[in-house]
Amino acid sequence: MYTYAHPGLKDPEYYVPGLPIDYVAQRYRISPDDIAKLGSAENPYGTSPMAKAAVGDALDKMYTYASWTAEPLREKLADTYGYEPDNFVCGAGETEIIAMILRAFAAMGERILMPGPCFPMYHLFAEAEGRIPDMAHEATDRTTMALDVDVYIDAIKPEHRIVFLTNPHSPSGTWMTEAEVRRVIEAAPHALVVLDEAYVHYSGGPGYIHLAHDYDNLAVLRTFSKVYGLAGLRLGFGVAHPDIIKALLAVKPTWNIGQLQIIGGVAALDDTAFVQKTIDTIIDSRTYVEGLFAETLDRFRFVPGSMSNFFLIEIMDPDIDSNQVFDGLLERGVIVKDGSISFRGLEKRFMRSDVNFREKMDQLVAALADLP
């Protein structure tokens, strides 16, 4: 019997990504063009044109090692957000930085706090690294699916080494005010507070990346996967006090970021027209689909308050559950996330759907209305 892995890996749980179009097309014999992929929060417009062009021009550089700290990207991020390069760490997606934070700021057996439900990688990485995730399910209002800050603060204990926040929250897309975020940071001076802003662009505002100037126990994370359309390139970053960054540089894989990632990220940060077009489309479609739910559906509820490029669907019909709805939507060419599979604590009453073009929102609502 294999016994070399630590106990946290005895029966490992894996992240469940959104299904790919090719799989659904083949299984259900549906044309790929007729499938609405609403389970991965990808950019409906594709990749930033400026990033795509820059990566294409740099293909001849793939034979050389990149700066091990991704220095050109750190410098660009510093210019963009008003920091110094040594305030930044870059990762192969934001998820890699989450793993680095767990490794650097919590020892084996130490505890980490997160809302429940939340982005699964927080607890999956914690368990895989031999850390103990505490999920504060009691802090989530079951009607609004928003985080109750007072309850969450009460859940913070002296033994928590890391405290996670996500804004907009996943899976609900709900928003926390700056005052609320500050309260959590100040309630955990003994811990590293990690503010995950992966979806912040879709809030229509700048987010709270500036708070890393004010607190030396805060790390703010962002990704290039969403609004910049670089999910396949794998690129994210964190901003924090230089002492936090030094620790993260010590645990990260040395050459975790390649030449094309650095070059693509630098170019994407300048592609403001593409970013704004994406934001405008998502905000418009989000309002549109919420109206469709109110006008068309009575068995399903659009959970209000999303400031992201996804939203929760509550199943109001007691005779069906999320497994049945998920399968029924796949048969109709619509891919969403089954809450009971993707998020601990949602059980079988919720689905999560992306916000996409209006025609894809029409397809989602029509498919839900067509379910038996």
CATH number of domain containing 265: 3.40.640.10
Does residue 217 register a pLDDT over 60? yes
**End of a domain among 218, 250, 271?**
271
Closest C-alpha to 165, from 211, 225, 213? 211
Give the C-alpha distances (Å, rounded to integers) separating 142 from 117, 137, 192, 313: 11, 9, 27, 13
340 in the same domain as 192: no
317 in the same domain as 179: no
Q: Is residue 2 part of a domain?
A: no
Share of the chain above pLDDT 70, in %: 99
- 38 and 360 Cβ atoms separated by less than 8 Å: yes
261 in the same domain as 286: no
Q: Is residue 41 part of a domain?
A: no
164 in the same domain as 188: yes
State the residue for tokens 């929250």.
169
Average pLDDT for 281-302: 98
156 in the same domain as 175: yes
Q: Is residue 350 part of a domain?
A: yes
266 in the same domain as 280: no
Confidence of residue 369 (pLDDT cuts 50, 70, 90): very high
As a whole number, the mean pLDDT across the chain is 97
141 in the same domain as 180: yes
- 340 and 346 Cβ atoms separated by less than 8 Å: yes
Q: Is residue 126 part of a domain?
A: yes
187 in the same domain as 320: no
Does residue 2 register a pLDDT over 60? no
Specify the number of domains making up the chain.
2
CA 145-191-139 angle, to 5 degrees, is 20
- 43 and 229 Cβ atoms separated by less than 8 Å: yes
Per-residue model confidence (pLDDT) at position 304: 97
189 in the same domain as 61: yes
DSSP string, 38-98: -SS---TT-S-HHHHHHHHHTGGGTTSPPPTT-HHHHHHHHHHHT--GGGEEEESSHHHHH
Q: Is residue 323 part of a domain?
A: yes
Average pLDDT for 342-346: 93
Q: Are strands 236-240 and 88-91 parallel, antiparallel or unpaired?
A: antiparallel
Per-residue model confidence (pLDDT) at position 8: 79
202 in the same domain as 320: no
CATH number of domain containing 296: 3.90.1150.10
Does residue 258 register a pLDDT over 90? yes
Reading the block at residue 76, the tokens are: 């660009």
Confidence of residue 372 (pLDDT cuts 50, 70, 90): very high
What's the rounded Cα separation, in Å, for the pair 283 and 360? 14
What's the rounded Cα separation, in Å, for the pair 271 and 260? 16
Per-residue model confidence (pLDDT) at position 366: 98
Does residue 42 register a pLDDT over 60? yes
256 in the same domain as 140: yes
Average pLDDT for 217-245: 98
What's the rounded Cα separation, in Å, for the pair 133 and 331? 36
Per-residue model confidence (pLDDT) at position 3: 65
Share of the chain above pLDDT 90, in %: 95
Q: Is residue 110 part of a domain?
A: yes
199 in the same domain as 87: yes
Q: Is residue 23 part of a domain?
A: yes
**pLDDT tens figures, 105-152:** 999 999 999 999 999 999 999 999 999 999 999 999 999 999 999 999
State the residue for tokens 């890699």.
96
What's the rounded Cα separation, in Å, for the pair 57 and 104? 36
Handedness of CA 102, 354, 93, 218 (dihedral sign): negative
**End of a domain among 271, 300, 335?**
271
Q: What range does the domain containing 279 cover?
A: 7-34+273-370
184 burial level (CB within 10 Å; 0-12, 13-18, 19+):
buried
**End of a domain among 230, 252, 271?**
271
Q: Is residue 44 part of a domain?
A: no
Average pLDDT for 54-67: 97
What's the rounded Cα separation, in Å, for the pair 222 and 61? 26
Residue 209, φ and ψ in degrees, nearest 5:
-65, -25
Average pLDDT for 73-83: 98
